[in-house]
């Protein structure tokens, strides 16, 4: 057994600087999706991408190794008694990859596939993701190895609160320590349970709500968080394809999104919102795949109608006007302009990458394309927009929520009316001096209305994605490397700039 695993007892284990050599892939008894045949596991995938990018930086190997390794991991097991009397042993994890900035930040997922390797990989990716979009957090990730569909709401609440208690006891949660967020299988409900549990132990800390993000609005959440990741995917794709050189390289005829065909794998929070924003921009959503089947319509489908159908029927199959695709994986191989894998890791691998007919792969999920698949697809002229940049919308808006909780004021509350007053005066002045007729009520409202919280959050996210895309493009062209490697190069350099002189990482 790998030495890391031998140090994790069946009760509770805490690892300091968990070093995992890329040459020795780990095996985990806790389950999880097996990597594609002959492919590295997810953690080794992230390490491979890091090592590839590190070769394009000026930093010494020892310094880079300190950035690469996971700082600490908490692994816990606790008994849980279900209502029917059955006793389950719940396995749960929290990994903190980097403390070069505090707090650490990363989601918590509920899935039967949760395992140590996956959590450590996602925590590592989170560090680089935050750096790419200039969010001042270290990376973290957590998960509970359960199928949430097998538990009712009361049972899920008890499990979530017990997990939070473990985090509190081991100092793995707090506004300035480690701030979780929603991920696969979790949402605002679970985050509110975490917040209330933490607050019970926070001894009157007025910033206690900042211990977690992705909360409901009434519990300190921020407007715009639900759609943040999907909206970030849309902004990122739009910005990459707005460049004529990049659009031409991947075979697109122009830089407009209007009329572009889109295929999505995964129609959860990320997939739905990405589909909605692409549809609103004039794209045609020609196929959507879920684990239990996919649907195709060459003329395009309305995401809102598709979501309503799914919520009513529990499946996409049978959506009016669509053709069913029995094997949902086959949707990945449809001819399209933009393919958005927004489900799980390692969906496009060396065993199926030659079937891909998309011009652009936009990674809505974490790690959906393996290194071998990427190597082949890049030779075919496919543009791959990497996960650590493209799906960073969630953590960006989580950052805004964290700031809101610390400042104790809603975005726009202080300055919105002042902004509207100034705009109204400007409009009135222009009407008088230019001799124009008075604007209609609707036109005036469109010009004068100040930014509310949702508009300000969307604006901040859009600016963040535009800056990150431009930085990635510049690095890619300067060093003649692909976008993923360029994003990692930028992340490593930013982490290095912060860590040097901080005492967290030794030069």
- pLDDT tens digits along 101-129: 999 999 999 999 999 999 999 999 999 99
Half-sphere exposure of 497 (CA within 13 A, CB side): 11
Summarize the confidence of residues 206-224 as an average pLDDT. 93
End-to-end CA distance of the chain: 32
How far CA 297 is from CA of 130, 306, 317, 325, 360, in Å, comes to 37, 12, 12, 11, 19
Summarize the confidence of residues 5-11 as an average pLDDT. 35
Question: Closest by alpha carbon to 287, among 253, 257, 319?
Answer: 319
pLDDT in tens, 128-137: 999 999 999 9
* Cα–Cα distance measured from residue 147 to residue 57, given in angstroms and rounded to the nearest whole number: 42
- Report whether pLDDT(28) > 70: no
Lowest-pLDDT range of 144-158, 166-180, 205-219, 425-439:
425-439
Q: What residues contact residue 191 under an 8 Å CB cut-off, 6+ apart?
A: 180, 181, 182, 212, 213, 214, 215, 216, 219, 221
Query: 25: burial class by Cβ within 10 Å (0-12, 13-18, 19+)?
Result: middle
* Cα–Cα distance measured from residue 447 to residue 161, given in angstroms and rounded to the nearest whole number: 47
- Report whether pLDDT(35) > 60: no
pLDDT band at 34 (very low <50, low <70, confident <90, very high): very low
Q: Where in the chain is the domain with CATH 3.40.50.10860?
A: 3-221+480-499
The verdict on whether 284 is a catalytic residue reads no
pLDDT band at 27 (very low <50, low <70, confident <90, very high): very low
Q: Which fold has domain 3-221+480-499?
A: Rossmann fold (3.40.50)
pLDDT of residue 452: 82
- Report whether pLDDT(17) > 70: no
pLDDT of residue 436: 62
pLDDT of residue 503: 58
Q: Where in the chain is the domain with CATH 3.40.50.720?
A: 228-388
Cβ distance 173 to 167 under 8 Å? yes
pLDDT in tens, 274-306: 999 999 999 999 999 998 889 999 999 999 999
**Beta carbons within 10 angstroms of residue 33's beta carbon:** 15
Summarize the confidence of residues 140-146 as an average pLDDT. 96
**Beta carbons within 10 angstroms of residue 135's beta carbon:** 20
pLDDT of residue 433: 79
Catalytic position from the list 141, 215, 260, 359 = 141
- Report whether pLDDT(24) > 60: no
pLDDT in tens, 239-288: 999 999 999 999 998 899 999 999 999 998 899 999 999 999 999 999 99
For the chain, the average pLDDT equals 87
DSSP state of 103: S
pLDDT in tens, 81-102: 998 889 999 999 999 999 889 9
How far CA 331 is from CA of 75, 107, 119, 282, 324, in Å, comes to 37, 28, 28, 21, 10
| Assigned CATH class of 228-388 | alpha beta
pLDDT band at 5 (very low <50, low <70, confident <90, very high): very low
Query: Coil, strand or helix: which one is 440?
Result: coil
Q: Which two three-digit tokens encode residue 281?
A: 């921009």
Query: Coil, strand or helix: which one is 64?
Result: helix
């Amino acid at each position: 057994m790998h030495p890391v695993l031998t140090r994790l007892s069946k009760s509770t284990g805490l690892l300091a600087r968990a070093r995992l050599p890329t040459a020795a892939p780990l095996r985990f008894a806790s389950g999880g999706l097996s990597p594609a045949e002959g492919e590295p596991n997810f953690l080794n995938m992230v390490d491979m991408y890091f090592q590839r990018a590190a070769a394009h930086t000026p930093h010494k190997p020892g310094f880079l190794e300190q950035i690469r390794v996971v700082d600490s991991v908490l692994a816990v097991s606790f008994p849980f008694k279900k209502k029917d009397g059955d006793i389950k042993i719940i396995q749960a994890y929290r990994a903190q990859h980097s403390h070069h900035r505090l707090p650490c930040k990363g989601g918590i997922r509920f899935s039967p596939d949760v395992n140590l390797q996956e959590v450590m990989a996602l925590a590592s990716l989170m560090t680089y993701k935050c750096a790419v979009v200039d969010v001042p957090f270290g990376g973290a990730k957590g998960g509970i190895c359960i199928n949430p569909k097998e538990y009712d709401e009361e049972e899920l609440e008890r499990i979530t609160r017990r997990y939070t208690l473990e985090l509190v006891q081991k100092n793995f949660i707090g506004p300035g320590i480690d701030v979780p967020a929603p991920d696969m299988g979790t949402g605002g409900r679970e985050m509110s349970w975490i917040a209330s549990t933490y607050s019970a132990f926070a001894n009157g800390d007025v910033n206690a709500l900042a211990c977690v993000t992705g909360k409901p609005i009434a519990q300190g959440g921020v407007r715009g968080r639900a759609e943040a990741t999907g909206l970030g995917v849309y902004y990122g794709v739009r910005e990459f394809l707005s460049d004529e050189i990049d659009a031409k390289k991947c075979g697109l005829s122009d830089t407009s999104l209007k009329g572009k065909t889109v295929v999505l794998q995964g129609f959860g929070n990320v997939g739905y919102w990405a589909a909605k924003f692409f549809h609103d921009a004039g794209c045609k959503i020609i196929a959507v795949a879920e684990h239990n089947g996919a649907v195709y319509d060459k003329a395009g489908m309305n995401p809102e109608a598709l979501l309503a159908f799914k919520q009513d029927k529990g499946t996409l199959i049978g959506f009016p006007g669509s053709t069913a695709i029995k094997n949902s994986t086959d949707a990945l191989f449809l001819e399209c302009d933009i393919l958005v894998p927004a489900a799980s890791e390692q969906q496009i691998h060396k065993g199926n990458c030659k079937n891909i007919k998309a011009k652009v792969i936009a990674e809505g999920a974490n790690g959906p394309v393996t290194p071998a698949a990427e190597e082949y697809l890049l030779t075919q002229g496919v543009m791959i927009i990497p996960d650590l940049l493209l799906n960073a919308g969630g953590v960006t808006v989580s950052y805004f929520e964290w700031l809101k909780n610390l400042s104790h004021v809603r975005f726009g509350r202080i300055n919105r009316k002042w902004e509207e007053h100034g705009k109204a005066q400007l409009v009135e002045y222009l009407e008088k001096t230019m001799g124009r007729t008075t604007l209609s009520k609707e036109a005036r409202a469109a010009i004068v209305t100040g930014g509310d919280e949702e508009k300000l959050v969307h604006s901040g996210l859009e600016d963040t994605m535009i800056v990150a895309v431009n930085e990635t493009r510049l690095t890619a062209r300067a060093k003649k490397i692909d976008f993923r490697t360029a994003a990692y190069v930028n992340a490593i350099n930013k982490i290095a700039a912060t860590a040097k002189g901080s005492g967290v990482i030794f030069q």
